[in-house]
Amino acid sequence: MVRKAAATKTASSVKHGPRKDLGASVEEYFARQPPDKRALLEKLRAVVMRAVPDATASIKWGVPVYEKNGK
């Protein structure tokens, strides 16, 4: 049996367009989720905000992230 080598691309050869979520708000992200996932995300946000009241939320890597002092 003869096997063909799989084609591979290096990170530098793959071209990506602009992120669809670039500049999207966390609220927009939550609104696009199914109700069960949205409820879980809301609970997680409440836990984070109770623990770190001055945390800020944003979308990075396609998911919500919480930061304090930019970290």
Q: Does the model's pTM come out above 0.75?
A: no
Q: What is the pLDDT of residue 24?
A: 78
- The CA-based angle 50-39-49, given to 5 degrees, is 15
Q: Which residue has the higher pLDDT, 2 or 36?
A: 36
Select the more confidently predicted residue: 70 or 3: 70
pLDDT tens figures, 13-69: 667 666 666 667 999 999 999 999 999 999 999 999 999 999 999 999 899 999 999
Predicted confidence at residue 20, as pLDDT, reads 64
Give dist(CA 54, CA 66) in Å, integer. Answer: 10
User: Which CA distances in Å does 19 have to 8, 9, 29?
Assistant: 23, 20, 13
Q: How is residue 69 written in tokens?
A: 């002092």
